[in-house]
Amino acid sequence: MAYTPEMKELIKRVEATRPARVAMARRNENYPALSMAERADVLEKFHPDYQKSGKRVVAVGPNKGDIFQEGVARLLESKSMVRPDKVDLSKVDHETDVLVLGGGGAGTSAAIMAANGGCKVIIATKLRHGDSNTIMAEGGIQAATHECDSPYYHFMDTIGGGHFSNQRDLVAALAKDAPLSIAWLESLGMLFNKYEDGRTVVRHCGGSSRKRLQSSGDMTGAEIMRVVRDEVRNRPDQITVLEFSPAVELLLDTEGKCAGAILHNMETKEFYVVKAKAVIIGTGGFGRLHIKGFATTNHYGATMDGVVMAYRAGVGNKSLHSTQYHPTGVAYPEQNVGLLITEKVRGLGAHVLNIDGEQFCFPLEPRDVESAELICEAMEKGKGIITPTGRVGLWLDSPMIEELHGPGSVKKELPAKFIQFERHGIDISKEPMLVYPTLHYQNGGVNVNGDTETCVPGLYAAGEAIGGVHGENRLMGNSLQDIITFGRRAGKNAAAYVQAGVEIKGLTLDHVVKFEKELEQAGITSPGVAPILLPDYSTDEMTARRWPEALTNEAPAV
Amino acid sequence: MCETDQKTVKKMPRVATGDRAILPEGAKTIPVYIMGKMYEVPETLTIMKAMEFAGFKFLRGAGCRGGICGACPTVYRMAGDYKLHFGLACQTVVEANMYLAQIPFFPANRAIFNIDEIGGLPEAIHALYPEIFRCVACNQCTKACPMDVDVLGYISALKQGNIEKAAKLSFDCIQCGLCASRCMGEIPQYHAAQLARRVYGRYIVPQAEHLKARVAAIESGKYDAMLDELAAMSKEDLEKKYVEREREPDFAEIGSWQPKETRYL
């Protein structure tokens, strides 16, 4: 759907202010950024994390007493998909050294490193290998590789962006390993945007003090995922990939070590018992829970499975009350709603504008601040643009990029985005995009230390599933770095743990029995069942036509 | 599990409803034929959302839902027309009387190689994928590509030994497999392209020398004390340092700017 005549009329206001704004950008002048006090104020008033509604206290488990969004709380207080007393754990279907849960960027890098460490590895993943948020990350990956930058400033930008709530050993690990990750990816044959002499092209991103964002066109995550997945496929003797077979419960042994997991083959509906000497959680985030009803940029399987399973095994989480809303999700056309428009667009100089074509914020504030400013402009000041489907958005002036960097630069720098809009009759090198904040990232997650160890021996975690790296707000390009840095660390450390000699004793689900007893004692009589594995997008009419009330229990073929 | 904030909906313009599409007022429904069976779905939806509207729940055939993962390749044909069309279900808008089927998986041979040993010569690629010489240049691969990749172009480049050209032409590939499904020569184009890109990235593009220097500095422990210092700093001091840090100007030429404070570089 191309822009309607009414919308095209509004775009004229953007065009009217553009020459003056381009001239300003050429003078290296920006709309003023907010002070720390002003940041705090706009977050308090307009960021969904800070609003009181829709939250509650969790009554059981390691984070008992903490406050979470309703959808998250319900999953933390859920019961298992299997009845522990009816499961026969003496029948082991697969045995391996390292079991990796999740086939995204973190899990896949972990698997390669564990294999490098001499281990047999199984990757169990819910959808296809590579179906993940990694593959969707567009803009780039942070690493202090250039001379005017260093891990010191990467640490500082990361912790400042996270409002100093980050876990510091994790930030230090990220900043230190980041250049090593880039070198590793380069050695695997990943393509980076480079100058002729091989130097990586770097850009600013929201909250960065140095240009540190390396990229691969506007499909950096897809390029990373393609390469690491391809590398796994070179090692069939060492790494087995089980697709459409997510883990639904962790297994411990009688000594309390992590000892494997129960997998569920979603196609045949059978379960597998996998015995492993070490387990790595790389299951990603929770975007498909649609916290507060927001649209999401996340892939279809992002349902917080790893956090839920770890919780029952006694591993708590941090910062999980915190959700990143990406400031610029697509608000129009309807087909693309919620999809991400990379921060690189603003990094290339595009301004965010209201209905009058006026700037109202510094375009590269940390993401939570930027999102809150957009929500304020649209909702409080009423200066948003209403779409034909009743959504609201603000302009992102992509045609500016053509003027700042030369004709053709939109298509060159943002090829995937250009195609995505062109399909719907919008040429983003000539017309601005309509954007609004969208649910993008689970800031928090499973508790680990800098070596990716959880409090359960033999259980490691990496990537979006862990908490503390980003504190309560993540900077662009630090998620791709997170999955590679901590994925690699998890694989390496799990292999070292296995190689030092691990003897698995009897397998048990006693931790699940104990957790469900705790639910009962807390008076939670009808908990949900989780992991939920996939979201349900049936309409209410369709659900009703499935006759939930009239249907006989255990009716065949249902 | 899809929450909506009712208060927000009442007070403000509607800003979100998870992934259930909001239908424009007075939206028309149109007939589409999913694997030959007719369903009435609202126009303007993508094939993916229309199938969900019709009651399908995806297991295969849905992934990122954003046009980049290659999970939802779809073939369709309009009633009364011979011509086959190809697209991604998450990106293609439904049309009346469209007959569609998803092809979530298509078998394709993938050769095993060692990236550290393969080298930068085209002969290595030819040895692993000799079937590329079975190409008859029918161009069905290119016509089937939902990303508008010039598949025939990169296969031809590979045959001619031009790895760079093959890597560049295939860069937008999402490995959905539609090319392979249409190939008369039974070539696994997207695997050959992946190999070409990795060989190009590893052996033909100049390596990043500045990065090697940084890696050596990190491995020598140069930054450990600096990071320890930050990790141990009080929040107040850290905040002060954060606010005072210098920002590299947006339009500074690469390598032309140096901060005043150089102790931590």
SS3 labels along chain B: CCCCCHHHHHHCCCCCECECCCCCCCCCEEEEEECCEEEEEECCCEHHHHHHHCCCCCCCCCCCCCCCCCCCEEEEEECCCCCEEEEECCCCECCCCEEEEECCCCCCCCCCCCCCCCCCCHHHHHHHCHHHHHCCCCCHHHHHCCCCCCHHHHHHHHHCCCHHHHHHHCCCCCCCCHHHHHCCCCCCHHHHHHHHHHHHHHHHCCCCHHHHHHHHHHHCCCCHHHHHHHHHCCHHHHHHHHHHCCCCCCCCCCCCCCCCCCCCC
The total number of structural domains that make up chain B: 3
Which residues of A, range 31-90, sit inside 8 Å of B by Cβ? 36, 53-54, 70-71, 74
Query: What parts of chain A have a pLDDT lower than 70?
Result: 557-558
| CATH node for A5-50+325-437 | 3.90.700.10
Task: Write down the domain spans for chain A.
Answer: 5-50+325-437, 92-322+443-508
Q: Which class is A92-322+443-508 in CATH? A: alpha beta
- Please indicate, yes or no, whether residues B199 and B143 belong to a single structural domain of this protein: yes
Buried b or exposed e, range A489-510, using 16+ CB within 10 angstroms: bbbbbbbebbeeebebeebbbe
Partner-chain contact A234 B115, CB within 8 Å:
yes
The model's pLDDT over B110-164, given as tens digits with 9 standing for 90+, comes to 999 999 999 999 999 999 999 999 999 999 999 999 999 999 999 999 999 999 9
- Please indicate, yes or no, whether residues B128 and B200 belong to a single structural domain of this protein: yes
CA dihedral (B170, B171, B174, B176) in degrees, to 10, reads 0
Instruction: Answer yes or no: is B8 within a domain.
Output: no
**Residues of A with CB below 8 A from B167's CB?**
191
pLDDT for res B24: 61
Cβ of A405 under 8 Å from any chain B Cβ? Answer: no
Cβ of A24 under 8 Å from any chain B Cβ? Answer: no
Partner-chain contact A200 B211, CB within 8 Å:
yes
- The CATH number of the domain holding residue B141 is 1.10.1060.10
Tell me: ipTM over 0.85.
yes
Partner-chain contact A153 B46, CB within 8 Å:
no
Buried b or exposed e, range A153-167, using 16+ CB within 10 angstroms: bbbbbbbbbbbebbb
**Interface mutation target, options A214, A300, A339, A344, chain B, most CBs of B under 10 Å:** A300
Partner-chain contact B248 A210, CB within 8 Å:
yes
The stretch B223-233 carries a mean pLDDT of: 97
The model's pLDDT over A417-436, given as tens digits with 9 standing for 90+, comes to 888 898 788 999 999 999 99
Name the helix (H) or strand (E) containing A176.
helix A168-187
pLDDT for res A412: 87
How many angstroms separate the CA of residue B222 from the nearest CA in chain A?
10
Q: Which residue in the set A135, A338, A438 is minimally distant from B69, CB to CB?
A: A135
pLDDT for res A367: 86
Q: CB neighbours (10 Å) of residue B3? A: 18
- Please indicate, yes or no, whether residues B127 and B154 belong to a single structural domain of this protein: yes
| CA dist list (Å): A253 to A310, A313, A502, A506, B50 | 15, 11, 11, 5, 46
Question: pLDDT confidence of B15, banded at 50, 70, 90?
Answer: very low
pLDDT for res B255: 85
**Residues of B with CB below 8 A from A379's CB?**
12-13, 15
Instruction: Answer yes or no: is B258 within a domain.
Output: no
- Please indicate, yes or no, whether residues B135 and B168 belong to a single structural domain of this protein: yes
Placement of tokens 């102790």 in the chain: B263
Is residue B67's pLDDT more than 90? no
Taking a C-beta distance cutoff of 8 angstroms, is the pair A373, A42 a contact? yes
Is residue B14's pLDDT more than 50? no
* Chain B CA closest to residue A384: B13
Taking a C-beta distance cutoff of 8 angstroms, is the pair A233, A225 a contact? no
- Please indicate, yes or no, whether residues B186 and B234 belong to a single structural domain of this protein: no
Range of the domain at B217: 209-241
How many angstroms separate the CA of residue A505 from the nearest CA in chain B?
35
**Residues of B with CB below 8 A from A292's CB?**
3, 5, 8, 16
Is residue B44's pLDDT more than 80? no
* Chain A CA closest to residue B59: A127
The model's pLDDT over A179-209, given as tens digits with 9 standing for 90+, comes to 999 999 999 999 999 999 999 999 998 889 9
* Chain B CA closest to residue A544: B55
**Interface mutation target, options B22, B114, B117, B248, chain A, most CBs of A under 10 Å:** B248
* Chain A CA closest to residue B204: A189
* Chain B CA closest to residue A36: B243
Instruction: Answer yes or no: is B70 within a domain.
Output: yes
**What residues of A are labeled active site?**
326, 346
Of A44-48, A444-448, B197-201, B259-263, which gets the smallest average pLDDT?
Answer: A44-48
